[in-house]
Amino acid sequence: DQRVCVQPPVRLLYMELVPGGTLQDVVRRWGEVQVADRTGRLMLDVVDLNLASSGIAPPEGSDIRRRLVRTNWYEAVCEIGLRLVQGLAYAHDKGVLHRDIKPANVLLTPECSPKLADFNISFQDGREDEQAEDAFGGSLAYMSPEQLEACHPALGGSPHKVREASDIYSVGIILFELTSGERPFGDLPPDQRWSLTLQRMIDQRRMVDFEQLDANLPSDCPLSLRTVLIKCLQPAENLRYRSARQLANALKLCLHPRLWNLLREPTSWFGRLPLRFPVFTVLMLTLIPSILAAVFNFFYNQHAIIEKLGNAKSLFMTIQAGINAVAFPVGMAIVVWCAMQTKRQMQSAPGANHALWCALFLGQQMARIALALWVLSGFAYPIAIHWGLKNGVGVGMYVHFALSLALCGMLAGTYPFFFVTAVGIRWFVPEMIRQENTPGPVGTQLEKLRRLNRLYLLLTASVPLFGILLMVMFGFRDGEQDLSIYLLIASVTGLFGFGAMFALHRMIEDDLTALDALAVDDEM
């Protein structure tokens, strides 16, 4: 086994036998078949044909092959691209750049899993003596503009300027070719002047017309895949994916359309409002239900309880103003503090999974705050009235007051749970994933949030019924019929409120199911 030759002074490269062919075979076969035959099965046919030429039988029980049989062509491109980029990310993590990524250098295993090969001009990060003439060979058609500039004799390019983003660009060209059957920039006619050919190729990439590139893609190509391809082929390195791992995440999203839509960055000013003003958004979504519940509770208690206490109306108004003057500012301060803590956690260093927990369960925190303050108020009202009246009040009034505020508090807590949880899942969590501040949601956290989602839906349906029962027990037992307006309000708001919360419940359930694709096994 000889690895080094003295004469001539070269190193011998021994490569693993991968008998399934290359992506170049797939590109060639793509142009030979009808549109209807361009499915995931096409890749398997190419692999099986190469296996047969070597006398090898296709493997059985392969998960990749089972998936490809069921996929359309675009899903197959994303599946192969995802696995290719995951391998590239591993190389980049080790400080190795490839610099010659092209279909012929992507080998296919019998399972149809891609393997990136031929690192013969790769670059080990840290070598200061590397020269451009030693660093580059490869195929010009798949090179990034900065790599072409480094090859240009008149531009004084350096291989040290060709970083991970260059490999990402090359992957983008391969994926574009697999998607459309042709490379994004086509082939230039041969020119005897090497520098002129390089300059024309650089200009093609630097002054690319993305509208034309988009038009060159098949009309049924999904928007998610189009977005990935366009981002890979951006002329400026800082406009491409920051890492191969980020590109892998983008391709994974293409295989999960709902998740892709969930993680898309909002473009409108209204869509970005919760991200620009997260504390204000959480405060309003928590405060408004409590204000509406407080208005209803005020008029109901005044009519059903206070008017039966004789001259207690002025005392009730004083107590009402005093308790609200304390409860609402205290509640707002706690909500703002919790929201600011969550915001700081979201902007913390990557890898801190506690921030994701805060974003997922912020709605539950808001519900607890609202319910706790309402329950405390339910005890404060009758106690304050008892102290203010000389003759005191009966136990029934204590119970009536406490129950009325507790039920209103439960509604004032359940609605913010759905509102804030929806904002957390739709805005806060996707933003953290886009910024790579989290490895992904924890599976146990998603399951816990599912259980809470169902529990709060049950509360949303049952609390109005208990409220109606409360009115019947304490109002109609005395033969009063003028509480019917409150029964009507409770019934109508309960019905419409449940309908709205049920819609949010379903949306949260679907979003949690989509996030399962990114879930990690345990907390980091």
Whole-structure pTM over 0.95, yes or no? no
**For the chain, percent of residues with pLDDT exceeding 90:** 52
**For the chain, percent of residues with pLDDT exceeding 70:** 83
pLDDT in tens, 64-97: 999 999 999 999 999 999 999 999 999 999 988 8
β-strands 123-124, 96-97 pairing:
antiparallel
Q: Can you tell me the distance from the alpha carbon of 472 to that of 489, in angstroms, rounded to the nearest whole number?
A: 14
pLDDT at residue 392, as a whole number: 60
Sign of CA pseudo-dihedral 196, 202, 207, 213? positive
pLDDT at residue 505, as a whole number: 97
Helix H or strand E segment including 11: strand 10-11
Helix H or strand E segment including 517: none
pLDDT in tens, 301-356: 777 766 766 666 777 788 888 888 999 999 999 999 999 999 988 887 665 568 88
Name the average pLDDT for the chain: 85
Identify whether the C-beta of residue 305 lies closer than 8 Å to the C-beta of residue 369.
Answer: no
Q: Is 510 a residue whose pLDDT tops 60? A: yes
pLDDT at residue 77, as a whole number: 97
Q: Could you tell me which of 366, 370, 368, 364 has the C-alpha nearest to residue 297?
A: 370
Of 30-34, 154-158, 218-222, which range is least confident? 154-158
Q: Can you tell me the distance from the alpha carbon of 293 to that of 402, in angstroms, rounded to the nearest whole number?
A: 14
pLDDT in tens, 398-417: 776 777 777 888 888 899 99
DSSP 137-181: -S-GGG--HHHHHHH-TTTT--GGG--HHHHHHHHHHHHHHHHHS
pLDDT interval class at 155 (50, 70, 90):
low
pLDDT in tens, 122-135: 554 444 444 444 44
